């Protein structure tokens, strides 16, 4: 795999994002494919988060090709089972799976987040059967915290998540 870059969202990423969100395999852990309207809402939320929070999911791009995204989102919903928190996540097109992109891009996103956010931790959560993401969390050195596992009720149905924690490092550097 050629070197990739993390980029802020631009309208040119919209169709590739919507296509990825419509893939049943890619979206299996979130209850299945998103509609274009549902994808548009998420796309706009990710795009706007850069302005409001200084962090967001970032486009993972390789020589102009959209491969997926990775990054941190600020979750402000006090009714979320974890309350207000910062969460790292990633999602990639199927043809980008198994190449180490999730681990590499999430590591860069964490470094960036630590340089702009003054928070003690960033959490990550995934479905019980999403072993790929759990392996990424292990490779990132996140600590499993079963005390915070949760089930949430979403419009697409109930979703159960396993919680992992990235604790703020002693020394912070930005390798974006």
Q: What would the mean pLDDT of 8-20 be, rounded to a whole number?
A: 96
Quick: pLDDT tens for 15-31: 999 999 999 999 888 77
146 belongs to a structural domain: yes
Question: In this predicted model, what pLDDT tens digit does every residue of 128-149 receive, in sequence order?
Answer: 989 999 999 999 999 999 999 9
CA distance 113 to 66: 22
Whether 176 is covered by a domain: the verdict is no
Confirm whether 175 is domain-assigned: no
CATH at residue 46: 3.40.630.30
Measured in degrees and rounded to the nearest 5, phi and psi for residue 127 equal -65, 150
| Secondary element (H or E) of residue 79 | none
The Cα-based distances of 83 to 70, 76, 145, 149 in angstroms read 22, 7, 15, 13
Whole domain around residue 159: which residue ranges? 5-167
- Which residue do the tokens 């993401």 mark? 133
Using CA of residue 144, residue 100, residue 29, residue 10, what is the dihedral sign?
positive
Residue 153 falls inside a structural domain: yes
For residue 173, is it within any domain? no
Total domains, the chain: 1
H runs (alpha helix) in 87-142: 101-116, 131-139
Domain membership flag for residue 158 = yes
What pTM did the predictor assign?
0.90
Cβ atoms of 43 and 14 closer than 8 Å: yes
9 within some domain:
yes
pLDDT computed for residue 174 by the predictor: 60
């Amino acid at each position: 795999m050629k070197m990739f870059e993390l980029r802020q969202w631009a309208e040119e990423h919209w169709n590739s994002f919507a296509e990825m969100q419509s893939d049943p395999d890619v979206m299996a852990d979130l209850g299945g494919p998103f509609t274009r309207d549902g994808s548009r809402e998420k796309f706009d939320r990710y795009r706007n988060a850069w302005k409001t929070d200084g962090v967001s999911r970032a486009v993972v791009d390789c020589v102009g090709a959209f491969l997926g995204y990775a990054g941190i989102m600020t979750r402000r919903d006090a009714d979320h089972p974890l309350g207000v928190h910062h969460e790292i996540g990633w999602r990639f097109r199927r043809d980008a799976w198994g190449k180490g992109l999730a681990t590499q891009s999430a590591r860069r996103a964490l470094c960036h987040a630590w340089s702009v956010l003054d928070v003690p931790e960033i959490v990550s959560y995934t479905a019980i059967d999403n072993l790929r993401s759990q392996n990424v969390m292990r490779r990132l050195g996140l600590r499993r915290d079963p005390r915070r596992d949760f089930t949430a009720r979403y419009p697409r149905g109930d979703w159960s998540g396993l919680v992992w924690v990235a604790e703020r490092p002693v020394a912070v550097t930005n390798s974006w």
